[in-house]
Amino acid sequence: MGSATLHEEINSFFESAPPLKDSVKIADKLNQFVQLDSPSSGRRVVCVTSGGTTVPLEQRCVRYIDNFSSGNRGAASTEYLIKAGYKLADDSDFQVRQSHSEAVKGAIRNHHAAVAGGLLLKLPFTTIFEYLQMLRMIASSMRSLERRAMFYLAAAVSDFYVPWKRMAEHKIQSASGPLDMRLMQVPKMLSVLRTEWTPMAFCISFKLETDSKILLEKANMALKKYKMHSVVANELYPERGGHGSHRKRKCFSLPG
């Protein structure tokens, strides 16, 4: 695909996407967060994405397609990155087993300390539209950081979507018979992130497949075609007996 065609697809995606809610407030938060430290401080800032993205099938969404991800990898990575000196771009009511209560309390204390110290900014998303709009905004805010910026893209990003204007407004009725729906490919924005949005940032992406041969090809393509600095390749395979699944991981990096 030529760069002109890719840019047309990206522009079409953003133009057809529903407006991001509270985009002005999000942009203000981002700019304040990024500008807290002067360039002379040498503080590094990393954008960590994690969790899954959904593809709505209706504008007033009842049904959706989900790329499932627990977000555990991104959450754990965030903790390590903060401890390593990075800044990263809510309290929950939950119950914990007594045997793990002290560990959880410590994690909550660390979370509050990171937020209070200006080291952590959380920007939740649900849909593929929200995710990619936020990613572009974050990249725009972090562009001025140049080599002090890093992107750690662990989110499970949908490969296909229904353009907003083509969606049914209301719940799709089962009485209409079998559902026949054409999905469009989500434009591959990694190369644009890497070469245009934040060309000086260090970029790490993740790739998940069930076929190890395809996985290696896709990981190498991300390095060469999308210019990623490093790719974490995950192979998903089922547990014996068909219950649950395991992952094998390999990391590929550009030489030098």
Give 160-197 pLDDT, tens digit per residue.
Answer: 999 999 999 999 998 888 988 899 999 999 999 999 99
Let me know whether 186 and 113 are in one domain. Answer: yes
Tell me whether residue 227 is in a domain.
yes
Let me know whether 122 and 226 are in one domain. Answer: no
Helix (H, G, I), strand (E, B) or coil at 152: strand
- pLDDT per residue as tens digits for the range 26-62: 999 999 888 876 566 677 899 999 999 999 999 999 9
Let me know whether 34 and 122 are in one domain. Answer: yes
Residue 176 belongs to a domain with what CATH number?
3.40.50.10300
Tell me whether residue 110 is in a domain.
yes
Tell me whether residue 152 is in a domain.
yes
Tell me whether residue 96 is in a domain.
no
Let me know whether 123 and 167 are in one domain. Answer: yes
CA of residue 95 relative to chain centroid, distance: 27
The pair of structure tokens assigned to 232 is 């974490």
In DSSP terms, 55 is beta-bridged to 65
Other beta carbons less than 10 A from residue 119's beta carbon? 19
CA nearest neighbour of 157 among 245, 250, 35, 74: 74
Tell me whether residue 205 is in a domain.
no
Let me know whether 150 and 239 are in one domain. Answer: no
Let me know whether 122 and 190 are in one domain. Answer: yes
Let me know whether 231 and 128 are in one domain. Answer: no
Which region among 75-79, 105-109, 179-183 has the lowest average model confidence (pLDDT)? 105-109
Tell me whether residue 94 is in a domain.
no
Tell me whether residue 22 is in a domain.
no
Confidence check: pLDDT of 84 > 50? yes
Beta-carbon contacts of residue 19 (< 8 Å; ≥ 6 apart): none
Let me know whether 136 and 255 are in one domain. Answer: no
Let me know whether 229 and 135 are in one domain. Answer: no
In the prediction, which pLDDT does 90 show?
31
Beta-carbon contacts of residue 40 (< 8 Å; ≥ 6 apart): none
64-66 and 184-185 beta bridge pairing: unpaired
Helix (H, G, I), strand (E, B) or coil at 169: coil
CA nearest neighbour of 127 among 242, 236, 20, 15: 20
Let me know whether 46 and 12 are in one domain. Answer: yes
pLDDT mean over 204-218? 88
Tell me whether residue 24 is in a domain.
no
Let me know whether 77 and 113 are in one domain. Answer: yes
* Structural domain for 215, as ranges: 211-256
Instruction: Please state the domain count of the chain.
Output: 2
Long-range (24+ apart) CB contacts under 8 A made by 102-105 are none
Interatomic CA distance for residues 116 and 101, integer angstroms: 22
More confident call, 96 vs 214: 214
- The tally of CA atoms less than 13 A away on the side-chain side of residue 121 is 23
Interatomic CA distance for residues 31 and 27, integer angstroms: 6
Are residues 154 and 206 in contact, defined by beta-carbon separation less than 8 angstroms? yes
End position of a domain, from candidates 181, 200, 219: 200
In the prediction, which pLDDT does 39 show?
64
